Amino acid sequence: MKRLLPATIIAALFAVGWYHWPASPRPFTAADIAILESLTLASLPPLPPDPGNPVADDPRAAVFGHALFFDTRLSRNGGISCATCHQPERNFTDGLPKAQALGTSRRNTPSIVGTAYSPWQYWDGRRDSQWAQALSPLEDPNEHGSDRQTLVRLIAEDPDYAACYTGLFGELPDLQDAAGVDAAFANIGRVFAAYERLLMPGPAPFDEYVAAVVAGDTERQAELFSDDEVVGLQLFIGKANCTQCHNGPLLTNNEFHNTGVIAAPGELPDKGRVVGAREVLADPFNCAGAFGAGSPSACAELEFMRTGPELIGAFRTPSLRGVAETAPYMHTGQLPTLGEVVEHYNLAPLAMIGHNEAKPLKLRRGELRQLEAFLLTLSAPPAVDAKWLRAPARD
Ligand code: HEC
Ligand code: HEC
C-alpha cells in the first residue's frame, strides 16, 4: 500500500495534467492551407445584387439609410433607433441576452455586419432580404413601435428626408392611399438595406495569419498567433469540426441547424426555422411578393428552401467574425461567455426539441481554452470609414 500510493498519486497527477495540458501546433498540410484560404476575407466574393432593391448600391440611398438607422424619431416614444440595439461599438449588438427597447424582444440581437451576404435574415430566417427585414422592427411593438403611415408622414414632413426620398423613388404617396403607403414603406426598407450593405467585416488577425502561412513567413506567423491560437485554429478546422457549419470567409454556411442549445430558463424551447420558414413564405414583402424581384424565377432561394421537420429547433449559423464583441451568445443569449459556448459543443447535449446535429467532441480542458483563444482572433473594426459607424451630424 505504502509503495502503491505514490504511484497512484503520480498517475492521477498525470491524468489531470493530460486533461489540462495544452497541445502543441502541428505543421499545416496543403489541404489545411486550402481550407484556411477559403475562410479568409480574401476569398469573399463581391456582394451579390439584391434583385428586389433597385437602390441597394446607390450611394444616396446609403446616406439616407445611415441617417434613418440612427434616427430615434422613427420610434413611437422618440427614444429608439436601430442603433439602440445594433450598437456599432459592440459589433452592432447590445450586450443583452434579449433585446430591450419599448419592450423585451423574443431573441438576442445579432450583429448585422456582413449579413447582406445572407439569403435569410433573423435567427429563424423569417425574412429573405435585408430591406424586408428592416420593416419589421419599425412596426414591432417591442422595438420602434411605429407604423408605416406614421413613418411615411415623418419622411414627407422632414424636408431633408423628403428630398432624399423623392430623389430616389419619385413622389411620396397620399397617406390615405394604403397601397401607395405599402410601396413607400418597402422603399424605406430599401434605404436601410443600402446602408447595411456597407457594413462589412475588416481583416482580422486571423486573415493576416493565413496570409503569412500562405507566404511561408514563419516570423510573421509567430508575431500574429501564439501556439494556443494556432492549435485552436487547428481544432476549429479539424477535430472540433466547427467548419462543418461555420465555413466560408464569414464563417457561416447561412444554413439552419439544430445545435441542442437549451431553452432560456422558464421558457419553452424555440421551434426556430420550422416556424421561420412558414413566416417567410407568408411575408407580403418577400422576394416573390408584389414588392419583390418582379419575377418568381429570381426567387430560387424561396422556391427551393427546406421546410422539413429537420428544421425543428434549428437556427441560422451566425458569422463568427467579431464574435468576441457579441456576448452573450446563441439565439436567446443563453450562453454568457465563449468559454461556455465551447463547453456546450464539447458536451453536445441532447436537444430539447428536434435533433442536435453536433456530436460530443471529448476535447481536453486545455484544448477548449485553445479553441476559445482562436475565436478571439476574428475581431476587427468593420471595413468602412468611421463616419458610417456613428450618427450623422444633423444640421
Ligand atoms: C429592440 C432592439 C432592436 C431594434 C430597435 C432593431 N433590431 Fe434588428 N434585431 C434585433 C433582434 C433581437 C434581432 C434578432 C431577432 C430574431 O432573429 O428573431 C434582430 C435582427 C436583425 C437583422 C438580422 C441579422 C441576422 O443576422 O439575421 C438585421 C439585418 C437587423 N436586425 C437590422 C435592424 C434594422 C435595420 C433596424 C432598424 C430599422 C433594427 N434592426 C432595429 C434587435 C433590434
Ligand atoms: C451543426 C452546425 C454547427 C456546428 C458543427 C458548429 N456550430 Fe456554432 N453555431 C451553429 C448554430 C446553428 C448556432 C446558433 C445556435 C442557436 O442560437 O441556437 C451557432 C452558434 C455559435 C456561436 C454563437 C455566436 C453568437 O453570435 O451567438 C459560437 C461562438 C459558435 N457557434 C462557435 C462554434 C464552434 C467553436 C464550433 C466548433 C466547436 C461550432 N460553433 C460548431 C452551428 C454550428
Using the structure block, give the residue that is written with the C-alpha cell 436537444.
351
**Which residues, 6+ apart, have CB-to-CB distance to 94 below 8 Å?**
84, 85, 86, 87, 100, 109
* Distance in Å from the first CA to the final CA of the chain: 85
Distance CA 342, CA 146 (A): 39
Cβ distance 261 to 330 under 8 Å?
A: yes
Tell how far CA 354 is from the center of its chain: 23
pLDDT tens digits in sequence order for the chain, 395 residues long? 556 667 777 777 667 676 777 788 999 999 999 999 999 999 999 999 998 999 999 999 999 999 999 999 999 999 999 999 999 999 999 999 999 999 999 999 999 999 999 999 999 999 999 999 999 999 999 999 999 999 999 999 999 999 999 999 999 999 999 999 999 999 999 999 999 999 999 999 999 999 999 999 999 999 999 999 999 999 999 999 999 999 999 999 999 999 999 998 889 999 999 999 999 999 999 999 999 987 777 898 898 999 999 999 999 999 999 999 999 999 999 999 999 999 999 999 999 999 999 999 999 999 999 999 999 999 999 999 999 999 998 65
138: CA distance to ligand 1 center in Å?
10
Q: Atom 32 of ligand 1 has which residue's CA nearest to it? A: 134
Q: Is the alpha carbon torsion for 352, 357, 360, 365 positive or negative?
A: negative
The pick from 72, 76, 82 for probing ligand 1's pocket by mutation, whose C-beta has the most ligand atoms within 8 angstroms, reads 82
Length in residues, the chain: 395
Whether residue 252 has its Cβ less than 6 Å from ligand 1: no
- Residue 214 CA, ligand 1 centroid: distance in Å: 37
Choice from 133, 246, 285, 332 to test ligand 1 binding pocket (greatest atom count within 8 A of CB): 133
